[in-house]
A and B are shown apart, each in its own frame.
Chain A
Amino acid sequence: MTLYWEEEIETLPRVGLESIQLKRLQHLVARVYKTVAPYREKMDAAGVKPKDIQSLADLTKLPFTVKEDLRDNYPFGLFTVPMDQVVRVHASSGTTGKPTVVGYTKKDIKTWSGLMARALTCAGATSSDMIHNAYGYGLFTGGLGAHYGIERLGATVIPVSGGNTKRQITIMKDFKSSVLLATPSYALNLAETMNALGVDPKSLSLRVGVFGAEPWSENMRDEVERKLNIKAVDIYGLSEVIGPGVAMQCLEGEKGLHIFEDHFLPEIIDPDTGEVLPLGEKGELVFTTLTKEAFPIIRYRTKDITRLLYDECACGRTMVRMDKVTGRTDDMLIIRGVNVFPSQIEHVLMGTKGVEPHYQIVVNREGNMDTMSVEVEVSEDIFSDEIKTLENLNKRIQMDIKDMLGVSCRVKLVEPKSIQRSEGKAQRVIDNRNL
């Protein structure tokens, strides 16, 4: 039997759902137009007023919001409430150094916790569960977002965060963790470590894993399920929209993640033209938040590629499902759960020597860990006849990248022209992971 967190809304016939969505959308557009100058200016420029939103189809009249809008209004320019009503901020890395900052009111935190509780219930978790939360705690929305949801569910949260894998396994054994929340690559890392320590996953109490924050393939799902002896389900979210808990895979459905449409309105657009694509077609996922207070967002382009599945789901939920995200419209990489843009690496390299060297980012999955190495061509500007100088340069680039991105990487100095160029343009990223 399917477990629901809020059965009535989760199984509401679509007509009812759509009428709720329209009411919330109209309210949101009116409020944002009134309180946030950058939104008002964009709507005025597009010649659209709040009263023009008469149906859900009118959503397309509104201008898109992109990551650059967040950067231009850094840090709090798109918040719709005074700061004394904001009880928390989170941030994720931006493309050129400045992070993307989002804020939450008390009510937003309540909404978010409820959505996370709903998501965990989709995965079969209940108040009796011991939930091992290995998402990173901090500015990243993963750790705290899940944490509050687990408490809301009434389950026991183990806030282990990331790292110290051996200790995590001891805790899993001793505390009888029954649900694991982590990035899929960290889950595989846990499995490998268990193997090395001679811990049989069958001897643990783990039943289900809720994995997200990085792309993962169906093959990886099979591997995690086999190696940890659990059921592995997919969670989706991004900080610009709210964090984890935007969409969640159910246990009953064959595939796809239910989008929590009473709070987030999805669209699929052609990333080149911006046109909304016919139902079921693959394109860029766009979200409008319907209930957020501090940081609502209108038609936010996620740059994630997926499609929407409107067929009925065996679980009885009526909310549309999105397919597993299959790619990006930009060059963003996700390394061990951290967003990395090649432009950030470029920024570090420029800062290191004041010149723009030719470089290439090579990503591999070694064992179960993503590894990133940055190859930098040694031009005359950075060359020295002393080993020490070049080694220091290498170390400094490594440290600066770690500082800026929070991800460690290997730096390799290479001869000029060793990085392949196509039509004179260097290929910036080689991703050898099979995602």
Chain B
Amino acid sequence: MRVEQIAVFLENKSGRLAEITAKLAEENINIRALSVADTADFGILRLIVDDVEKAKTTLKSNGFTVSVTNVIAVEVADKTGGLAGVLKTIEEEKLNVEYMYAFVNQSGENAVLIFRFDDMDKAIEALQRTGYAILSGEEICSL
């Protein structure tokens, strides 16, 4: 029920993001979701890809610092209130969000929210109990 996410350390230098996406494209790795969190000096690129192992090896061999972490992917209808509903549940269940980002799947009907919680097990249990669809890695890649 968890999805593996790749995180890459980036200095805030122009062109680094383009370089990473190009390297992954060369290896036919498909990026399903991407987010950059940054400060004045550095950033963290987070990626959901279809081949985690290959992406990790590729980036490492190109000199990047890479880590693999587990995140939770929640599918919601891409309409007003879709996100609000999940956030309400999170608040009611007192779940702590470390970070989150979202993407819309290709059909455009559903949005996928990617979450990192401080207590992942508790979050999975709570979201499932309140009726949310939690996607696996394969499911995200086949969307």
Q: Which residues of A pack against B, CB within 8 Å?
A: 378-380, 383-388, 390-391, 412-418
Contacts and interface: CB of A to CB of B under 8 A. Distances in A.
Contacts of B39: 387, 391
A414 B44 contact: no
Contacts, number: 52
A380 B44 contact: no
A384 B66 CA distance: 9
Q: Is the interface of A mostly helix, strand, loop or mixed?
A: loop
B63 A415 contact: yes
B44 A412 contact: no
Interface of B: 5, 7, 9-11, 37-39, 41-42, 44, 46, 63-67, 69, 98-99, 116
Contact of A416 (B7, B44, B63): B63
A235 B41 CA distance: 41
B67 A380 contact: yes
A385 B5 contact: yes
15 contacts: A378-B65, A380-B67, A383-B9, A384-B67, A385-B67, A386-B99, A387-B37, A387-B99, A388-B98, A412-B41, A413-B41, A413-B42, A415-B64, A415-B65, A416-B63
B46 A416 contact: no
A378 B43 CA distance: 12
Contacts of B11: 413-415, 418
A335 B46 CA distance: 39
A379 B65 contact: yes
Nearest to A394: B41
A378 B67 CA distance: 12
A417 B63 CA distance: 7
Contact of B46 (A385, A390, A412, A415): A385
A380 B98 contact: no
Given A390-B44, A413-B41, A385 B63 contact: no
Contacts of A391: 39
A379 B67 CA distance: 10
A380 B46 CA distance: 15
Q: Which of B44, B65, B66 has the most CB of A within 10 A?
A: B65
